[in-house]
């Protein structure tokens, strides 16, 4: 059991909270910590897993530790908005290790492209590799800037009171919607016909789970620009994120409870009044905030009749869940330095036919993996050697459709069938072979490995299809004005990646937007939040 939080069964019953947060992902923890730190609210966070943190948590074995969702983060400098929020909710206790001049390495067959720190350095590197495409590269970065500049009003609109948002929202978001309403491929094919250049520019598409032909250009712009000033990794591992935030919630009189599964959000007189737990007990509070995702909140946590009454039952039919994945966690009995492992992540592609390879893999699990992402946390974390001397860890990830494991749906975690275990072993060996192609010195060095599938994600995170990024980041997603913190039900709010975008930064900003929405009726507190983040 986590040393960070208390088990729900051992917690006793205390209903004296100002707000309840369902889920302890980065969005839920951020909202809880902001409401505690800046507004003095006592917040109860309920987490169904045995570790808080959502996709920021780590899991351990006797000799190893792996992160499950945090592989690098950009823009953590204290003067950035992300850095300010992190500093506030962690009380400055979270440290970041610089990943160096190259954070991502894209590999297409035998061709290697490094993504260096610094926008100017990146542009120069691209122009050196694509000497006939200088104009297209310049235009691409112009379009990135346009998308970013207009995104501020798009997100600000989400925090406005619904009546005001209805009045001025369309005008606020009009410029953003021009580029967000197009796919990444549509935008890029308007400036270049060079497929290899398109593949390199979008080589990080696994960070949001959609290939260029399906993703909104908005998410491509946000993710690409997020790393312009380099990438960073939490010192002590990604588990340090939750470890640093939970005390802020507790100092304000709140709590974080684990193994605390919510069965239903309680509605009385057309407003949220609390939650009913899976054991039948109830916890009451005037504010209920869901970090469980839009699908789970409206389709599972609300009574169906209530969802229909407030018109939120159809929201999930207009959007699609994001990609699922498999991840191979490997442990080695040598240090990263001894094995020659470096900090940069590797994106390994068979070639530059991104969509064709993904379509083939979706149709046939035995076809080539469309992309394999290799991460070396023990090389990134300067504290790893202190915690696990003489050892190292590696993670290998690929996108996969939920349909590959659907036939084992409903089976129990750790007690699934032999054919499921055989499927996992086959996938593990295939991922290891990709690793060995890049690092042949590792063959025979893997002493421990285990593989997670979308069913694992489903079990721990509660996502129905094992999705890792919430809602798909398509053009349609960015057009949906219903994806906002304030719901049609008084007292019920949404937070996390479905409100903003995926990833730690996206989920965290979803948490900021939610906190601002909760405080709309307390203008003095809302102004304090705004003043802090604007630096005034």
Going by C-alpha positions, the residue among 301, 292, 290, 288 that lies closest to residue 19 is: 288
Quick one: 332 and 457 in the same domain? yes
Three-class HEC string of 68-132: CCCCCECCCCCCCHHHHHHHHHHCCCCCEEECCCEEEEEEECCEEEEEECCHHHHHHHHHHHCCC
Q: Is there a single domain that holds both residue 221 and residue 252? A: no
The last residue of a domain, from among 407, 433, 461: 461
The answer to pTM > 0.85 is yes
Residue 1: its pLDDT value, please? 37
Same domain flag for 42 and 21:
yes
Give the per-residue pLDDT at 318: 79
> Are 302 and 383 part of one and the same domain?
no
**Residue 253 forms part of a structural domain:** yes
Number of domains in the chain: 3
Same-domain pairing of 331 and 455: yes
Residues 441 and 376 in one domain: yes
Rounded distance between C-alpha atoms, residue 424 and residue 428, angstroms = 6
Residue of 72, 352, 40 whose CA lies nearest to 212 = 352
Structure confidence at residue 308 (pLDDT): 95
Residue 139 belongs to some domain of the structure = yes
Same domain (yes/no): 378, 457: yes
The per-residue pLDDT for 15 is 66
Residues 369, 344 share a domain: yes
Picking from 207, 227, 247, the residue at the C-terminal end of a domain is 227
> Is position 113 within any domain?
no
Residues in contact with 227: Cβ distance below 8 Å, sequence separation at least 6, in sequence order: 72, 74, 103, 104, 115, 117, 204
| 108 lies in some domain | no
pLDDT at 315: 87
- Statement to judge: residues 248 and 330 lie in one domain: no
What is the per-residue pLDDT for 532?
53
Same domain for 416 and 456, yes or no, is yes
In a domain, 1, yes or no: no
The answer to whether position 65 is within a domain reads no
Report pLDDT for 440. Answer: 98
Whether residue 529 is contained in a domain is answered as yes
Residue 528, pLDDT score: 57
For position 294, what pLDDT does the model report? 95
Same domain flag for 431 and 441: yes
Last residue of a domain, one of 169, 198, 227: 227
What is residue 3's predicted lDDT score, i.e. its pLDDT? 54
Same domain for 288 and 325? Answer: no
102 lies in a domain?
Answer: no
Domain extent at residue 406:
321-461
E-assigned strands of 205-342?
232-234, 255-258, 262-268, 271-277, 282-284, 288-290, 324-332
Short-list 491, 481, 380, CA closest to 166 = 481
What CATH code is carried by the domain that includes residue 51? 3.50.50.60
What is the chain's pLDDT, residue by residue, as a tens digit (536 residues)?
A: 345 678 898 886 666 899 999 999 999 999 999 999 989 999 999 999 989 999 998 989 989 999 999 999 999 999 898 999 999 999 999 999 999 999 999 999 999 999 999 999 999 999 999 999 999 999 999 999 999 999 999 999 998 888 889 999 999 999 999 999 999 999 999 999 999 999 999 999 999 999 999 999 999 999 999 999 999 999 999 999 999 999 999 999 999 999 999 999 999 999 999 999 999 999 999 999 999 999 999 999 999 999 999 999 988 777 899 999 999 999 999 999 999 999 999 999 999 999 999 999 999 988 999 999 999 999 999 999 999 999 999 999 999 999 999 999 989 988 899 999 999 999 999 999 999 999 999 999 999 999 999 999 998 888 889 999 999 999 999 999 899 999 999 999 999 999 999 999 999 999 999 999 999 866 555 555 555 545 43
């Amino acid at each position: 059991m986590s040393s960070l939080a208390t088990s729900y069964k051992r917690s006793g019953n205390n209903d004296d909270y100002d707000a309840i947060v369902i889920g302890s992902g980065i969005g839920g923890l951020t909202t809880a910590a902001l409401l505690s730190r800046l507004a003095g609210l006592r917040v109860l966070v309920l987490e169904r897993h045995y570790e808080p943190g959502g996709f920021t948590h780590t899991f351990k074995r006797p000799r190893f530790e792996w992160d499950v969702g945090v592989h690098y983060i950009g823009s953590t400098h204290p003067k950035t908005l992300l850095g300010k929020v992190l500093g506030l909710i962690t009380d400055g206790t979270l440290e970041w290790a610089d990943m160096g001049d190259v954070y991502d390495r894209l590999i297409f067959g035998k061709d290697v492209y490094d993504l260096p720190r610094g926008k100017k350095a990146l542009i120069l590197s691209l122009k050196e590799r694509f000497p006939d495409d200088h104009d297209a590269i310049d235009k691409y970065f112009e379009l990135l800037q346009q998308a970013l500049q207009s995104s501020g009003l798009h997100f600000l609109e989400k925090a406005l009171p619904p009546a005001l948002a209805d009045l001025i929202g369309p005008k606020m978001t009009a410029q953003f919607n021009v580029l967000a309403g197009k796919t990444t491929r549509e935008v890029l094919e308007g400036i270049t016909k060079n497929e290899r250049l398109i593949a390199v520019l979008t080589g990080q598409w696994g960070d949001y789970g959609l290939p260029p032909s399906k993703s909104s250009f908005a998410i491509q712009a946000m993710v690409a620009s997020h790393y312009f000033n380099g990438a960073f990794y939490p010192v002590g591992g990604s588990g340090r994120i939750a470890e640093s935030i939970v005390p802020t919630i507790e100092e304000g009189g709140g709590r974080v409870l684990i193994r605390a599964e919510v069965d239903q959000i309680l509605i009385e007189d057309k407003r949220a009044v609390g939650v009913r737990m899976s054991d039948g007990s109830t916890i009451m509070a005037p504010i209920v905030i869901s970090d469980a995702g839009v699908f789970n909140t409206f389709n599972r946590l609300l009574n169906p009749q209530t969802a229909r009454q407030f018109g939120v039952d159809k929201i999930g039919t207009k959007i699609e869940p994001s990609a699922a994945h498999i991840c191979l966690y490997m442990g080695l009995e040598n240090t990263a330095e001894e094995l020659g492992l470096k900090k940069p992540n590797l994106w390994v592609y068979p070639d530059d036919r991104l969509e064709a390879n993904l379509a083939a893999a979706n149709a046939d699990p035995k076809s080539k993996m469309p992309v394999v992402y290799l991460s070396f946390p023990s090389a990134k974390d300067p504290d790893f050697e202190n915690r696990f001397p003489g050892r190292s860890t590696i993670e290998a990830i690929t996108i996969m459709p939920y349909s590959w494991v659907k036939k084992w749906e409903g089976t129990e975690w750790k007690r699934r069938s032999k054919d499921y275990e055989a499927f996992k072993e086959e996938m593990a060996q295939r991922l290891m072979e990709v690793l060995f192609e890049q690092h042949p010195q590792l063959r025979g060095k893997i002493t421990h490995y285990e593989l997670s599938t979308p069913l694992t994600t489903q079990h721990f995170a509660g996502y129905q299809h094992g999705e890792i990024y919430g809602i798909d980041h398509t053009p349609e997603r960015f057009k949906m004005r219903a994806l906002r913190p304030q719901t049609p039900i008084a007292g019920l709010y949404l937070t996390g990646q479905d409100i903003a975008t995926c990833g730690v930064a996206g989920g965290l900003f979803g948490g900021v937007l939610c906190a601002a929405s909760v405080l709309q009726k307390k203008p003095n507190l809302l102004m304090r939040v705004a003043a802090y983040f604007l630096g005034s």
